[in-house]
Structure 1
């Protein structure tokens, strides 16, 4: 039996930087990483749970805890989830469904009803991950300077997930290193089917109002016009997510993945748009003294915006305008790359339409993701009736605050992508 074929580094680099306009899976490419000078690159693919526990030791990881079965049609935003600290062993034990922990606010939770997620963690900021950092390299895709310091890690139990959103900057490479994770993706032209919102605000992320763990077609009828792409990643796979593609991501079992966002020339325009949104969000925060309202407007990692002065917010916009003007003046003709232009197989600009030979890519273990009708997608998301909430569990309910509702409606209008696009052109 002949050994599987894999694309050369130069071709992979060109595909990532502009040749591909839709998500693909590079099947088992991590197991074929012979391009890296780092001989330890992606060795964690062979690790079992005991080895992972040995590497991460007894370091406490800050985890997010959410309901396994939501009774609301609202996504489980980061700010509405509980948080706690666990060792890797405790996190893995939590995945077995027979553990309890106390949250940072003192509430006792059971793993029978809550998932746990050590997510969106920049590896460069975590001293707990020093041994693991030596194993991460993106050489195989033509980015020899990109490693753990340019990557994020995600470790979570079954049902742990990220609310549906799109990233405003760059494209994304996602390496699956343990377990299985299911990705549901939507093209940028289906944005209005997904009910975009900037609340809660997080720079570079535009969220969908839809909770994909508890689909409410009555409330969000446009979603039936969407045609999602669904794929389950296996250890050794790398998923490519093009710029501005929407995605809902959920662990099917105990899962570990590592990703990196690749910068693109068009990011400077999106950074200007983000600064305009920050101006609107920051101004709204200055209009209220309520910490509860501010917490509902901002994602936890964005709370510093509430302390910014009007002058600081305006300076942020000014800086981004200057950056955008400089990028326009530079007249770039090729996308960013860690390789020199001579090493690229072709100079494909990210805005050009390229012709992709799917037959050739398929023969080299590049998997195209099947597009589904929404009814086909619904058949995949069967409700799990075995997860029944404890009868005595008290769900926290936020009271209706007219001021908060009005402020959010105003902010949603001012930060709508269509409004921001017009402001950017001006």
Structure 2
């Protein structure tokens, strides 16, 4: 938990039963159950393909597989309006606890406990199934950090799995141009937030989106993106990617079919992040709801059920503030207790603990937090043991990132291929916050250049206003003032 940069874990999951979860196997397990697919265009435009710009299809995994393999529309009927050569499909954010609520034994196929989180399994995980080109727009998560497993697929046995992984590793090592990668991640550190033009429209409680299409950037409108430093890595089957808190990420499937799972790990810092998210929701919902309804301005992300009322939003804000202040009291009390204990007891008290948090009213949002949230406190280590089993995701060359060349691989890919030995190696929280300097002097520079690019169009829109009002830096200052007011 002390890692401050993305890293890939190898040789950690070769005995996890979840490696059998390819799309065909999941189709059999779901047995005709329909799930929601997000449909998007493979054509790369300069603007990000936000979820509000996508269409949606309810279909079975069997129909999805038929569509991706080019079978007749009578077999893949729900996808009949979409040419698979022009469109991608993405079954994203599928909470395993809901998807397999009648097959809870399947939760044990995922063993995050191997990473030091006792009891964490499939119940606190999310499933992602996509076709080539399926992507998640560049964003950062306000809450927690992220562990992501790329899944290999269904094999005859675990022994076969081990042998297969050895063979694939050798192939990647010797014939990299012949092996099509699985899922490519473009990551940017929190310090790059200004260069990524953050926005809260479309609004999702736990996500801060970037206005930049990081693989095809419009540098005329977003010139500061040239200063962004991308860390790019292709995640291969059996490898686990660690995404630290507040790292921006754009994710794209580059195989015909990809399957992955992830788990968001709650952190101590999330208590203040919930206050900031409550402030943001209150302002966004109040201002956007006051606008005249416009069919072209889909400001609410499809992951949000509805625009909640001002009364409910204030309840959430007060609940989040109360939870944070209570957490502070507990932390101060624990620190006092620690000062009177010996070293052994002090180390023991740093372990994970359950903290009661009052998130939001019931049915507030799809994927609401559970009442008891496991929060992790990181212990500082003097040195991170990078090596053949834990490989850092290094930044691209400055030349590549300065022109937004998203397809370039980081130096990490070579290390991932050459150093592996033997094997590949939103819980319902969709939470997501930005780490930025408290220096107010940088605020003016963060105003969206869209509104000033054309001098003949000086009208300020509601979204322009919101970009300033709910700028993560501004919200952080407001949260600090509110919390200080409550402490007095």
Both structures adopt the same fold (TM-score exceeding 0.5): yes
Q: Distance in 2 between matches of 1:265 and 1:352?
A: 12
Instruction: Say if 1:272 and 1:320, in contact at 8 Å, map to a contact too.
Output: yes
**1:110-125 correspondence runs (5 A):** 110-125=83-98
Aligned to 1:392: none
The reply on whether 1:366 has 2:366 as its aligned counterpart is no
Q: Distance in 1 between matches of 2:72 and 2:183?
A: 22
User: 1:288: how far off?
Assistant: 2.6
TM-score, reference length from structure 1: 0.78
2:60 counterpart residue number: 87
Counterpart contact for 2:350–2:377, Cα < 8 Å? no
**TM-score normalised over the length of structure 2:** 0.68
Aligned to 1:315: 315
Aligned match of 1:21 = 4
Contact 2:5 2:243 in 1 (8 A): yes
- Residue in 1 aligned with 2:270? 267
Pick the aligned partner of 2:288 from 265, 269, 285.
Answer: 285
Equivalent-residue separation in structure 2 for 1:121 and 1:284 (angstroms)? 31
Shift of 1:62: 0.9
Q: Which residue of 1 aligns with 2:341?
A: none
CA distance in 2, matches of 1:419, 1:354: 32
Task: Output the CA distance in 2 between the equivalents of 1:325 and 1:146.
Answer: 27
Listed as ranges, the matches of 1:270-419 within 5 Å are: 270-290=273-293, 292=295, 296-305=298-307, 308-331=308-331, 342=348, 354-358=381-385, 361-363=386-388, 365-377=389-401, 378-379=404-405, 381=407, 406-419=461-474
Distance 2:205 2:70 in 1: 34
Once the two structures are superposed, what CA deviation does each residue of 1:188-208 show, in whole Å capped at 9, x if it has no partner?
Answer: 011111111111111111000
Q: 1:108 aligns with which of 81, 92, 109?
A: 81
Q: Is the 8 A contact 2:195 2:227 kept in 1?
A: yes
Aligned residues: 365
Contact 2:187 2:250 in 1 (8 A): yes
Q: Distance in 2 between matches of 1:345 and 1:321?
A: 24
Q: State the alpha-carbon separation in 1 of the partners of residues 39 and 262 from structure 2.
A: 21
SS in 1 for 2:304: helix
Give the deviation of 1:164 after TM superposition. Answer: 0.3
Hey, what does 2:122 align to over in structure 1? 148
C-alpha separation in 1, matches of 2:89 and 2:30: 17
The answer to whether the aligner puts 1:227 opposite 2:210 as a matched pair is no
Which residue number corresponds to residue 435 of structure 2?
Answer: none
1:7 is matched with none
CA contact (8 A) 2:145 2:267 kept: yes
* C-alpha RMSD of matched pairs (Å): 3.0
Question: Can you list the C-alpha shifts for 1:203-250, whole angstroms capped at 9, x where unaligned?
Answer: 111000012343222222111111111111111111111100010101
Mapped contact 2:3–2:244 kept (Cα < 8 A): yes
Structure with the largest fraction of strand: 1
